[in-house]
């Protein structure tokens, strides 16, 4: 049985924007983030392209330099550079390129397709930097669910499960699409306008080698955590032969959030016995190569994909180079050529399932499941989230 209802794809961004020297903020008066996009249909795909436009007003800081060098202390702006708004207020304008591709079949009507900024917040860690966080959603995507014999569940129970089941925090962003992830196939990306510099390229290439080599690295991004796992036997990660379409988040391979214990996404066993749960298996794809038009000298954070870790990564980088941190957003969404990439599925453990049954179903070893999910014991509980690494073939990408 198949039925449809409108749904949305939600993702979060966490970004730092650096202001130029001499234009630091004394007081931020207003800040807004608005999508400025166009929607185009071509070759059974729908392309949402444009940008998230950040704009605002601030009172510039009149700063003094403590440098010993006169050259640093005494520079001032030319008349042309001294541009002020009506109230002697500085203007902030910054554009984050956005590129989302969705299969046409997943959309009923293009007119129903909207990109909205659901939530937006910012902080000023320094006078020259704005850290912003936003939840962005693409609505109007077809909600489609197909019953599968192996995943049979009672719809009533499923609804009840929503009541009983307290979803881990990291899955809040999937709230509206927890179920339909099975059937979705799309990816979103953002591209940066500038070309990547050599250093970045080198770093990137080294990462590609790492990914292509024996050691396969998967990155899992969550709201509060990210972790990476190395896989030594890539052959065993066969493409799962199910009718679920993967959710593909093309990300910059440069993102390499470090694992930290406190943020480790340890699957949380659900304490209360629950009715049968929906099993969701979204697939997260990582493209090892950036788009030709993409520059990847930034770090990016995607809430679904571990913004916190990436954020720490970004914070560390920011101390060393402002330039590197000027445009983080797009990196997380950088599209790759996708000649070869891996994906990651999430599986919610059902009643009666064990590591063995799950491993058998996905044709992987139990030990890999344990290692991937950093389990302390060979037991899983109903409702627990497991990450299933699989190797994606090029033809399976959306």
Inter-residue contact 211 to 289 (CB < 8 Å): no
Can residue 235 be called a binding residue for other proteins (CB under 8 A)?
no
Q: How far is the CB of 303 from other proteins (least distance, A)?
A: 38
Which residues lie closer than 8 Å to 284 by C-beta, 6 or more apart?
219, 220, 221, 246, 247, 248, 249, 305, 343, 344, 345
Residue number with CB closer to other proteins (65 or 156)? 65
Which residues lie closer than 8 Å to 180 by C-beta, 6 or more apart?
7, 143, 144, 145
Can residue 86 be called a binding residue for other proteins (CB under 8 A)?
yes
Residue number with CB closer to other proteins (69 or 376)? 69
Can residue 93 be called a binding residue for other proteins (CB under 8 A)?
no
Q: How far is the CB of 386 from other proteins (least distance, A)?
A: 58
Beta bridge partners of 227: 220
Stretch that binds other proteins, among 5-13, 78-86, 150-158, 358-366 (CB under 8 A): 78-86
Residue number with CB closer to other proteins (42 or 82)? 82
Q: Are strands 114-126 and 2-18 parallel, antiparallel or unpaired?
A: unpaired
Q: How far is the CB of 53 from other proteins (least distance, A)?
A: 23
Can residue 73 be called a binding residue for other proteins (CB under 8 A)?
yes
CA distance 82 to 347: 55
Can residue 111 be called a binding residue for other proteins (CB under 8 A)?
no
Both structure tokens of 275: 């009715």
Q: How far is the CB of 122 from other proteins (least distance, A)?
A: 24
Residue number with CB closer to other proteins (83 or 243)? 83
Stretch that binds other proteins, among 55-63, 189-197, 259-267, 331-339 (CB under 8 A): 55-63
Can residue 77 be called a binding residue for other proteins (CB under 8 A)?
yes
Beta bridge partners of 216: 231
Helix, strand, coil percentages (3-state) for the chain, rounded to 5, are: 25, 35, 40
Can residue 78 be called a binding residue for other proteins (CB under 8 A)?
yes
Number of residues that bind other proteins (CB under 8 A): 23
Residue number with CB closer to other proteins (65 or 146)? 65
Would you give the end-to-end CA distance of the chain in angstroms? 24
Strands (E), the chain: 2-18, 25-42, 45-60, 90-103, 114-126, 129-146, 186-189, 216-221, 226-231, 247-249, 283-286, 341-348, 385-392
Stretch that binds other proteins, among 81-89, 140-148, 187-195, 291-299 (CB under 8 A): 81-89
Can residue 83 be called a binding residue for other proteins (CB under 8 A)?
yes
Can residue 377 be called a binding residue for other proteins (CB under 8 A)?
no
CA distance 223 to 265: 9
Residue number with CB closer to other proteins (75 or 116)? 75
Q: How far is the CB of 39 from other proteins (least distance, A)?
A: 38
Chain residues that interact with other proteins, rule: CB under 8 A: 60, 62-65, 69-71, 73-80, 82-88
């Amino acid at each position: 049985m198949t039925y449809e209802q409108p749904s949305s794809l939600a993702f979060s961004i966490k970004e730092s924007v650096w202001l130029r020297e001499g234009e630091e903020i004394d007081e931020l008066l207003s800040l807004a983030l608005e999508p400025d996009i166009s929607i185009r249909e071509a070759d059974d795909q729908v392309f949402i392209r444009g940008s998230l436009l950040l704009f605002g007003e601030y009172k510039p800081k009149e700063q003094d330099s403590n440098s010993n060098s006169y050259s640093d202390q005494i520079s001032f702006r030319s008349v042309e550079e001294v541009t002020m708004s009506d109230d002697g207020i500085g203007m902030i304008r910054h554009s984050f390129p956005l590129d989302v591709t969705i299969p046409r079949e997943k959309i009923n009507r293009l007119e129903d397709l909207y990109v909205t900024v659901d939530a937006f917040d910012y902080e000023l860690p320094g006078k020259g930097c704005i850290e912003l966080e936003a939840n962005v959603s693409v609505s109007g995507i077809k909600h489609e669910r197909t019953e599968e014999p192996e995943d049979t569940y009672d719809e009533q129970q499923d609804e009840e499960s929503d009541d009983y089941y307290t979803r881990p925090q990291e899955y809040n962003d999937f709230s509206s699409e927890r179920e339909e992830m099975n059937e979705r196939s799309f990816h979103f990306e953002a591209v940066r306008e500038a070309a990547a510099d050599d250093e970045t390229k080198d770093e990137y290439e080294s990462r590609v080698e790492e990914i292509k080599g024996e050691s396969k690295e998967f990155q899992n991004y969550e709201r509060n955590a990210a972790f990476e796992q190395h896989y030594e036997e890539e052959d065993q990660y066969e493409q799962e032969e199910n009718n679920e379409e993967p959710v593909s988040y093309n990300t910059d391979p440069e993102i390499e959030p470090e694992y930290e214990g406190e943020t480790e996404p340890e699957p949380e066993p659900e304490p209360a016995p629950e009715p049968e749960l929906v099993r969701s298996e979204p697939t997260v794809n990582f493209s090892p190569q950036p788009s030709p038009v993409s520059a990847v000298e930034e770090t990016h954070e995607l809430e679904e994909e571990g913004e916190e870790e990436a954020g720490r990564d970004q914070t560390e980088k920011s101390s060393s180079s402002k330039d590197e941190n000027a445009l983080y957003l797009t990196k997380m969404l950088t599209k790759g050529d996708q000649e070869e990439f891996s994906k990651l599925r999430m599986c919610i453990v059902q009643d009666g399932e064990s590591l063995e049954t799950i491993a058998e179903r996905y044709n992987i070893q139990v030990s890999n499941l344990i290692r991937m999910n950093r389990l302390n014991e060979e037991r899983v509980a109903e409702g627990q989230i497991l990450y299933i690494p699989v190797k994606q073939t090029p033809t399976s990408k959306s």
